[in-house]
Amino acid sequence: MLNHKETYFIRIVDASKPFVVGLGECAVFRGLGSDDVPDYEKVLAEVCWNIEDYKDCYKERLKEYPSVVFGLETAFADLQNDGRMMPFPSDFTEGNGFVKINGLIWMDAREEMMKQIENKIEDGFSCVKMKIGAVDFESELDLLRSVRKRFSKESLELRVDANGAFSMEDAMMKLEALSKMDLHSIEQPIKAGQTENMASLCKDTPLPIALDEELIGVFDKSKKQALLDEIKPQFVVLKPSLHGSFCGVDEWIGLAEERKIGWWITSALESNIGLNAIAQWTYVKGVSMAQGLGTGSLYTNNVHSPLVLDGENLKFDETKGYDFKD
């Protein structure tokens, strides 16, 4: 169980505008991110002390540290836009747009998970994502059946995320069973790194498969192309702080669209600093389907931010601003 998550904030100041600060978050994800390495803080300190040497080449020099690139790319974009918490200004930051998000259902006892789903629907969500694979599979199927008896696929979109919990031996059987639940998709049914097995599943699956952890640590364009060409997934799930920041995710999107592979954006437990940047950037991409953005409510000491949730719609309220006092 994850009880805390460390993060680092970067502030960049232009000497010609000493009162304008660009703010970014280096959202390292211990145990999952490819940059969870012993020298992380040393690399980050080197960048901060020598920012002039990195400002024009950090995306390439630091590509194996996606969370550092994420922090720098956000901070430079924020600085360029006068440090107003608006690295990617648009109608969204003017308060005239929103990003539709899915409701996330956490692993729990069956009754508690059903209660979570009911609460999300009452809150106005038309798409929920359920984590599966940590408890008895038949119990999970029974829960999905109960949900479908009450809510049709037209009234509620259901997504599931296995986080690599299935073995290759039983994966297809489980996909067949899940496909009868009118699901939108399943994320990462088997563990990452089994390229041939994942390709086999994607070829014959009765349920659309989305790659997630499979993309972590793949930074070179040629390797991205090779991965998509071999596996041929139906979707890819893209997390800026894990998959190469906004520049890296843009490359993934371009390659996916060339191959007619669907995609959506997901946050990865960033604080509200990183989440705000991801939400703004996601809106600029012109998305319409539900995205996997969090709300920052999991943390007891999160930074207050201008993001507000209106039903299933994530919005920006400039009057709220950041507050580091807590």
Q: Where are the domains of the chain?
A: 8-80, 99-316
Exposed / middle / buried, residue 58 (Cβ in 10 Å: 0-12, 13-18, 19+): buried
Q: How far apart are CA 133 and CA 137, in angstroms?
A: 7
Which residues are known catalytic residues? Answer: 131, 239
Using pLDDT thresholds of 50, 70 and 90, give the confidence band for residue 161: very high
Determine the average pLDDT of the residues in 7-17. Answer: 90
Helix, strand, coil content of the chain in percent (nearest 5): 40, 20, 45
**pLDDT reported for residue 294:** 85
pLDDT at position 112 is 85
The pLDDT tens digits for 248-281 are: 999 999 999 999 999 999 999 999 999 999 999 9
| Position 89 pLDDT exceeds 90 | yes
- Answer for the pair 206, 234: CB distance below 8 angstroms, yes or no: no
- What's the pLDDT score for residue 319? 82
**3-state secondary structure at position 13:** strand
The CATH code for residues 99-316 is: 3.20.20.120
pTM here? 0.94
Please tell me the distance from the alpha carbon of residue 199 to that of residue 29, in angstroms, as a whole number. Answer: 27
Highest mean pLDDT among 6-15, 84-93, 228-237, 294-303: 228-237
Supply the pLDDT for residue 323. Answer: 64
**pLDDT given for residue 72 in this prediction:** 98
- Closest by CA to 148, choosing from 180, 109, 186, 115, is 180
Secondary structure class of 209 (helix, strand, coil)? strand
